[in-house]
Each structure stands twice: as C-alpha cells, then as structure tokens.
Structure 1
Amino acid sequence: MPIQAVEPRRLYRQIADQLRQLIDAGEFAVGDRLPTERELADQLGISRPTVREALIALEVEGRIRIRVGSGIYVTEPPRAEIMTAEMDEGPFELLRAREFIEGAIAAEAALHVRPIDIEHMDDVLRRMEDIPHPTKMTIALDREFHTMVAGILGNAVLVRCIGELFDQRMNPYFERLSSYFENRDS
C-alpha cells in the first residue's frame, strides 16, 4: 500500500477549536467581547475570511453571538450540547467548487441552448423577481435554474451533481454564512 499524503485539518476548524478552548478555559467568559475579526486575523496571521468561517462555525454551535456593528460576544453554551457533524469542506470551498463546475457547464450549455430552454430559464428568473429574498421559494427556484442549465447538456450525471452541490448549502453553517451575503439590506 503506497504512502498517501495526509491532509491537515481545515484552518478555519483549527481556529474555531482554539477559540472554543479559550472560552472553555475561562479566558473569555459569557458576555465577554472577543477581539474583532481584523484583530483576530492579525493576531493569528491568517486571512479575515478564514477567521469569519471560524466565527460562523462557533456561532452555529451557539458558543458566540455576532452582533453587526457591536462585536462578537461569548454566549451561554447550549444546555444539551448538540454538536453539528464536522464538515470536511468549508462553505468557501463549496462556493469555489460550484463556481468552477457551474462555470464550465454554463459555457458548454451556451453552445447548445435552444430558444425553449431560454424561455424556461427566463420564466424561473421572472418568478424569482417577485419574491422576497432569501426564502424557501427563492432557494427552490434558484436550484431549479441551476439544474436547468445543466439539463441543457442532456447529461443526468451533471444535473444530479449540480443538484447535490446546491443541496449542500442547506445546513445551519452555510445558511448562517449566506445570511451575510444574501441579505438585500446589507
């Protein structure tokens, strides 16, 4: 059996673990304000998006509360420690994968698209315009649109792949992250 490279734990998970240990050790008590995202990035020598991923993971666990414009505060840990399944991939990796795969599919679909396909896509986009964003309906329509583009190629594997990539967004961690980017008021 050949030796295989071992992939280190995702950096954002390491940062989340470190912050969780500091909270558990009493370095930061309930109600204390953590350093800002920028300060944490500087102290740790890492990028702000990595810090943001770590903070969102802790917020989903119920360990901290991020108050926009106010700061990051330690919260009372949940009584029944409900641990979320550890994610091997972070949401930014999912977004990058979707960008790469869907970009290639869209480029190829543009070469094969028929007028009826364009009509169907326009219909989905029109339906999305009149619905407040984000809601379960807009998410369903967004999924329909993306799988429809893949469907232009007539390849069921690509349609399933796009659907599965899209469905991976439906977890508390990614929902919290997307709330930072998909809120029309922000």
Structure 2
Amino acid sequence: MFVALEPRRLYRQAAEQLRTLIEAGEVRPGERLPAERELAERLGVSRPTIREALIVLEVEGLIQIRMGSGVYVSARSNRQPEILAADDSDGPFEILQARCLIESAIAEEAARKVDSESIAKLNSILAEMEGSLDDSHQALALDRAFHTAIAD
C-alpha cells in the first residue's frame, strides 16, 4: 500500500502518494487517514514532511483536517491541482512565512486606521469562525474574509 520515498521534495512525493491512494479508492470519502506518526513510518519520512503533504492535500480539497479528530478524506473534491505543479522552490511553510511578513505590515497599518465599524465587522467574522470549525471550506472562506477585512 505505501512505498518509501526518495529524499527530493519529500512532502510533494508524500502528497502524490496519498492522493493516489485516495483517487484509487483505497481510502474512501469520509474515512479517516492513519495518524501522522503512522503515515510517516509507512512512507519513511518525518512527521513535518507528512504535515506539509497534508497541507497540500487540504488546500486541494482532497482531505479535511479536523482538530482533535484526525484527517478525513473529503466527500467531494474542490481540487486545485496546480498546487502540486507549482515551482519546487516554495513549500507551504515558506509561503506561510512570507504571508506572516506581509500580514504583519498590513495589521500595523490597519491598527493606525481602525474605526468602530471595522472592529464590529472583524468581531462578526470571528463569531462566525467559531461556529465553522467542523467545515473546513467555510472556515477557509471566513479566514479569507477576516484577513481581507483587516487589509480593507
């Protein structure tokens, strides 16, 4: 079922192998994937590599990561295959690092220009986010709305 991977952009190889298993029906929609530790052992990679692979698959819409519950195959896929086809130079962690730098500057500027209407809008979005923890697609949409509201 699993094959050990070569040490070249391992998270992409791990994501591809997990995607193949899902698309072949070896892990069906709604089923829980094995724990990170088990996936890492089966694929012969580290847990951080598995985490990056899972981020790729979640962004592609193939899986849902439910905090405290595990990783489940999505019932329907909103795949974005260009994620894996992207340039090998930047992985999810590098992109998140760049996002942190940019968003810090945006947050600083927003803090200078904040008004009560903006704060009310952010609080409203946060309240919605609390109710969407089990729906990753809604949570992602609300996360985007939150960050966009800060930038506005």
TM-score by length of 1: 0.45
Distance 1:93 1:138 in 2: 16
1:59-70 to structure 2, matched below 5 A, reads 59-70=58-69
Aligned residues: percent identity? 55
Is 1:140 matched with 2:106?
yes
Q: Match of 1:19, SS?
A: helix
1:9-158 superposed matches below 5 A: 9-78=8-77, 81-85=79-83, 86-87=85-86, 88=88, 89-93=90-94, 138=104, 140-141=106-107
* Displacement of 1:77: 3.5
Gaps of 5+ in 1: 1-7, 99-133, 144-175, 180-186
What whole-Å deviation, never above 9, does each CA across 1:46-76 have from its counterpart, x for those lacking one? 1111000000100000000011110110002
TM-aligned CA distance change 1:34 to 1:138, over 3 Å: same
AA paired with 1:140?
Answer: I
For each residue in 1:142-164, what CA deviation from the matched residue of structure 2 results, as whole angstroms up to 9, or x when unmatched? 69xxxxxxxxxxxxxxxxxxxxx
Write out per-residue CA displacement over residues 1-45 of structure 1, whole angstroms, 9 at most, x where no aligned residue: xxxxxxx85110100000000001110000000001111112222
Report the CA distance shift for 1:52/1:137 in structure 2 as closer, same or farther (over 3 A): closer
Q: How does 1:163-178 map to 2 (within 5 A)?
A: none
1:139/1:25 CA distance change after superposition, 3 Å: farther
Structure having the higher Rg: 1
Q: Which runs of 5+ in 2 are unaligned?
A: 1-6, 110-139, 144-152
Counterparts of 1:38 and 1:15, CA distance in 2: 13
SS at structure 1 position matched to 2:71: strand
Q: TM-score, normalised by structure 2?
A: 0.54
2:61–2:80 contact (8 Å) kept in structure 1: no
Name the count of aligned residue pairs.
101
Q: Is residue 63–residue 72 contact of structure 2 (8 Å, CA) maintained in 1?
A: yes
